[in-house]
Structure 1
Amino acid sequence: MDEKTHNVSGSLCPAMASADILGDKWTLLLLREMFLGTTRFGGFQKAIPRMSPSILSKRLKTLEAAEIIVRKPSPAAQAGEYRLTRSGRELGPIVENMAVWGMRWRKRSIAAQDCDVGGFMWDFHRTLNTQWLPDGKTVILVQISDRTELNTWWVIANGDAVDLCPDDPGHDVDIYLTASLAVLVALWLGDINLKDAIDAQSAFIEGDRHLINSAQDWMAQSPLIGVQSALAER
């Protein structure tokens, strides 16, 4: 058997066997959501808005067939819920290490890419530092200044529960945060802090005085914000 034929044939390499299932961006995004607690079809759609329902359904079936997830009926959800198996749970460190590697070596690419507004705001709302917010309900209106569509988002925090609404839910707004999408992403990634963005007039914040003064504390931030870029070590 020549080298070309050998490479095309089935490989005994376990890494290749894993890549056959996991070597797809939609699959990795789907698994990431499951590790973050998403279990329902509708939740996956909100978290990964660029993923079409047909692709989502196909990837879920692929993961089910590989026994990485199982589908369980749920009285509260007609479509049921998807849960990780032991095999799926063991992928957690792999996905996390890939994220850490991306922050160390691909951070410039991550920040520069065409970010999906809905996907970013989903990450933003669930990484809000709610422990720094007052007791009771706090309504934050995020206005994305350089977008003509999906440019206004209501983030509603009440204790540890945080909801995200692209349409006005009818609540009084406590704090207004206005910036371009690029600046919001930079704030979330930790590339700039809020005070510097406000001083540079690339971000604006108005509303309750206590929330303004504590904004740097409650501002949503990536859970990987402490990972140092490899470029900074040079």
Structure 2
Amino acid sequence: MDEMAKNTSGSLCPAMASAEILGDKWTLLLLREMFLGTTRFSGFQKAIPRMSPSILSKRLKTLEAAEIIIRKAAPSGQASEYKLTRSGRELEPIVENMAVWGMRWRKRSIAAQDCDISGFMWDFHRTLNTEGLPDGETTILVQISDRTDLHLWWVIANGATVDLCTKDPGHDVDIYLTATQANLVAIWLGDMTISEALETEAAFLDGPRHLIHAAQDWMAQSPLVTVRPALSI
């Protein structure tokens, strides 16, 4: 008996049939990454560091069996890529609406959860607004003040390309951003602006005046930052 047959609920409800494939946090995170453009096994590992290689492999095979993704062989020496099918692409607004619902109705629970710093910084670096930075390369050193491990992150922007490093890449640092993990997450989620964080000393910036003054223009923020939590049920 194959994996999909074993998980069958016996219900004729189409929603149940969908939930049997999609009703899993790892599957939703994996699909989210594909909607953001990630296509390779190593990329999924960087973006979802708590997902073990065995679980990642299993979820990819499940999505492939359901014809939501296809695996494309790459030239010799290169990693294979995973691509969305038409069926998979149709899931994007569904997953996006789930994220909007979560921000509106479950944001308190999200904020209270233990945040994986590696996954968060991956989101942080790819949501940096590079249009707010000057031309050429800008290196931002993010210092997470209440951690003893994984507390230094180099974010290197050059045009629209942004790289993330946990080891000193040897570039001159243009600006230092220092905050606790909770305050950095709060800024990213839009719970406080960078201006408010600097005024209350919830965060610190050290660098050229033009980069500090333009911080609200380049600071990384969640794509869902405009979704405000519901006040009541």
TM-score range, shorter chain: over 0.9
Alignment of 1:1-234 (within 5 A): 10-75=10-75, 78-231=78-231
Q: Distance in 2 between matches of 1:112 and 1:205?
A: 26
CA drift at 1:194: 1.0
Q: What's the CA shift for 1:199?
A: 1.4
TM-aligned CA deviation for residue 197 of structure 1? 1.1
- Structure 2 residue runs of 5 or longer lacking an equivalent are 1-7
Which residue in 2 is equivalent to 1:5? none
Residue-by-residue CA offset, 1:180-200 (whole Å, 9 max, x unaligned): 010000000100011111111
Deviation at 1:18, TM superposition (A): 0.4
Q: Residue 167 and residue 160 in structure 1: after superposition, are their counterparts in 2 closer, same or farther (change >3 A)?
A: same
Task: Measure the CA separation in 1 of the matches of 2:101 and 2:77.
Answer: 36
- What SS does the aligned partner of 1:109 have? helix
Q: What percentage of aligned pairs have identical amino acids?
A: 78
Q: Deviations over 1:103-130 (max 9, x none)?
A: 0001111111100000000000000000
Unaligned runs of 5+ in 1: 1-7
1:76 to partner: Cα distance:
7.8
Contact 2:141 2:153 in 1 (8 A): yes
For 1:205, give the aligned amino acid.
L
> Aligned pair in 2 of structure 1 residues 11, 77: CA closer, same or farther (>3 Å)?
farther
**How many Å separate the matches in 2 of 1:44 and 1:133?**
28
Q: Distance in 1 between matches of 2:9 and 2:19?
A: 15
> 1:183-226 deviations in whole A, cap 9, x for unaligned?
00000010001111111111100012211110111000000111
Report the RMSD for the aligned CA atoms in angstroms.
1.4
Question: Secondary structure of 2:128's partner?
Answer: coil
The residue type paired with residue 105 of structure 1 is W
TM-score (norm 1): 0.94
Indicate how the Cα distance of structure 1 residues 76 and 93 shifts in structure 2: closer, same or farther if over 3 A, else same: farther
Distance 2:9 2:217 in 1: 54
Given that residues 9 and 16 in structure 2 are in contact (C-alpha distance below 8 angstroms), is that contact kept between their aligned partners in structure 1?
no
Distance 1:23 1:209, change over 3 A: same
Q: Aligned AA for 1:219? A: M
Question: Aligned AA for 1:181?
Answer: Q
After superposition, the Cα gap between the structure-2 partners of 1:184 and 1:10, relative to the gap in structure 1 and judged at 3 Å, is same
Query: Which one-letter code corresponds to 1:70 in the other structure?
Result: I
3-state DSSP of counterpart to 2:201: coil
CA apart distance, 1:83: 0.3
